[in-house]
Amino acid sequence: MNWLLILLGFSLLIILHEGGHYLAAKATGMRVERFFLFFGPTLWSFRRGETEYGVKAIPLGGYVKISGMNPEEELPPEVEHRAYYRQAVWKRIAVVAAGPAVNIVLAFAILATVFYFNAQELDQQVGEIRSGSPAAEVLRPGDRILAVDGRSFSGLGTAERLKSFGNQVSTHRCAGAQVEGCVASTPVVLRISRDGQVRTLTVRPEYDAAAERALIGFSYGVRPAEISAGAAADRALEVMGTVVSKTASVFSRIFEEEQRKQISGIVGVSDAANQTLDRSGVDALLLLALVSLSLGVINLLPILPLDGGHIFWAVVEKLRGRPASLRVMERATVIGFALVMVLMVIGLTNDIGRLGSDVYDVR
């Protein structure tokens, strides 16, 4: 059932993306010949008006065929004036940008809606405890952290207080080099509330190389919170900004091995989606939003055959006062297609390398 939902989710993103192109093309007077989901042999199709709609066999994307996308395409005289390359530059940019724009707007709508109706805030109670961690020896889920090393940070809000607790723990360091798993030379003193009684516990944190600081090994619980629609929108924009920034960072440093390892292909995304569906519908919606955002952002990269490549060359045409030659466009397409294939191979290679590991365990 999960895999069917995943296929439906990905199909929805493709339909909405291509639907953006389709509606913008229709609105600007262009002739849309085909609107197909997926690629390969046609499984089912029908014609309505001048457009053929259908589904193909290979579930790897979709496309909208607009007359005149090839400058040398021969068209009947009665439709030549509606060809893509006969339109003003701004119309072409609007049509190409509409697909990624729909994905980005959809991501914002999903994120803002989830944050508004499912707002949560951190609580001082202990939530999940990592197995084998120092916390597993002294803490229990539901314990309420009152103070760390005698400091309660009572003048701060909950989020700031919990961050200060973490910063206080990080002041405890190993005696020698700070390496993965080394134990702090001094213990952290925790004052907690358990079953209505206040207790004092001591625990020695361990250094976590990924976090670059000492950790006890637990996460705080969460509780429902109420936020305004504006605050939900702000949080959605903040998350989107972070995702875009991280995506740009990965692609700008793709020749670094650690950055390449962060790229996932369709196998990795599908596996993560399967796990989030097992966890909750909310997590699945959040993943759908992030995939939609990533689809929109990646499609805006200025390389052909991606949408961003068409926008780039349309802008070049506007600045030069004439379009680039067909030969230049063909070369740019070949180079761009090669880059896209390299990204797909890197993603697939990373996915294969992760098989059998717990990397995709989003819990």
pLDDT digits (tens, 9 = 90+) for 58-70: 887 889 999 998 8
Higher pLDDT, 141 or 353: 141
Distance CA 69, CA 297 (A): 22
Distance CA 92, CA 87 (A): 7
Q: How far is the CA of 206 from the CAs of 43, 165, 227, 242, in angstroms?
A: 57, 15, 36, 29
46-51-56 Cα angle (round to 5)? 50
In a domain, 242, yes or no: no
Distance CA 114, CA 236 (A): 9
Residues making up the chain, counted from first to last: 363
Do 108 and 128 share a domain, yes or no? no
- Looking at every residue in the chain, the average pLDDT score rounds to 84
CATH number of the domain at 190, please: 2.30.42.10
Reported as a single tens digit per residue, the pLDDT across 33-55 is 999 999 899 999 999 999 999 99
Do 208 and 142 share a domain, yes or no? yes
pTM: 0.72
pLDDT at 234: 93
pLDDT above 90: residue 151: yes
Tell me the one-letter amino acid at 317. E
Do 127 and 158 share a domain, yes or no? yes
Q: How far is the CA of 191 from the CAs of 149, 152, 194, 273, 312, in angstroms?
A: 8, 9, 10, 39, 59
Reported as a single tens digit per residue, the pLDDT across 174-192 is 998 999 999 999 999 999 9
18 belongs to the catalytic site: yes
Residue range(s) defining the domain that contains residue 113: 2-117+262-354
* Residue tagged active-site, from 18, 121, 257, 258: 18
Residue 54 bridge partners (DSSP):
36, 45
In a domain, 248, yes or no: no
pLDDT above 70: residue 140: yes
Among 121-125, 194-198, 348-352, 357-361, the minimum mean pLDDT is found in 357-361
The domain tally of the chain equals 2
